[in-house]
Amino acid sequence: MSMKVTRTALPEVKIVESDLFCDELGSAFETFNADEFANRVDADVEFVQDDHSRSRRGVLRGLHYQIQHPQGKLMRVVAGDVFDVAVDIRLSSHNFGKWIGVHLSAANRRQMWVPPGFAHGFVVMSDTAECLCKATDYWFPEHERSLLWSDPDIGVDWPIEFAPILAAKDEAGKRLYEAEYYV
């Protein structure tokens, strides 16, 4: 695997890009290799769950995290385009409450590594989008929490000019300083 890893303004959050190999028959690229991931992302992880979601334009999912059984997530888009966001919610971090956002699309083949200790969400920018997410722990609905996507204390600059479509749990998200967070 030929993998390029780019650090973001939140050093633990990384953008992962793989080389595309093309020939007269089509194209291919490797989406995950445990050894390369551990060496280049500096994260020796074991993924235990894969999630596949499909959403329409304007759907905003997040900002989600699990207060117990925190999940690291490797997010990629296989159809469409999303703006993907991670928020540091580790109280001991000097980046507590800061966020990073990146466009992920089928065309750019980027992946975003969001380690445990971060809230995660995305908004769909294309007509539809299909996302694949590898997780380091299982989903436990009783431990899932949501930060308010529009919390002014976080200030995510969502690149949207429309009211997003939200699930009830995301409408009821808590502001950062009311939420449970990691120590």
CATH code of the domain in which 156 resides: 2.60.120.10
Domain that holds residue 79: 46-178
Residue 71 placed within a domain: yes
Asked if 3 contacts 98 with a C-beta cutoff of 8 angstroms, the reply is: no
User: Residue 98: which of 178, 171, 162, 8 has the closest Cα?
Assistant: 8
In a domain, residue 12? The reply is no
- The rounded distance, in Å, linking the Cα atoms of 56 and 128 is 4
Q: What is the pLDDT of residue 133?
A: 98
What was the pLDDT predicted at 121?
A: 98
Q: Quote the CA–CA distance of 135 and 113 in Å, as a whole number.
A: 10
Identify the bridge partners of residue 118 per DSSP, sorted by sequence position: 88
Single out the residue of 127, 128, 18, 116 nearest to residue 65, CA to CA.
116
In a domain, 16, yes or no: no
Report the domain count for the chain: 1
d(CA 97, CA 88): 5
Q: Which residues of the chain have pLDDT under 50?
A: none
Q: List the structure tokens of 135.
A: 């997780």
Is 70 inside any structural domain? yes
Residue-level pLDDT at 94: 97
The Cα 69–Cα 51 span in angstroms is 16
In a domain, 166, yes or no: yes
Q: What is the pLDDT of residue 1?
A: 53
For residue 71, what are the CA distances in angstroms to 79, 80, 126, 168, 179? 24, 24, 27, 22, 17
pLDDT, position 183: 84
Whether 41 is in a domain gets the answer: no
- Name the H helices within 32-149: 34-41
* Helix/strand number for the chain, H first, E second: 2, 13
Q: Name the amino acid, one letter, at 127.
A: D
Domain-embedded: residue 102 = yes
Question: Is 14 part of any domain?
Answer: no
C-beta separation of 63 from 114 below 8 A: no
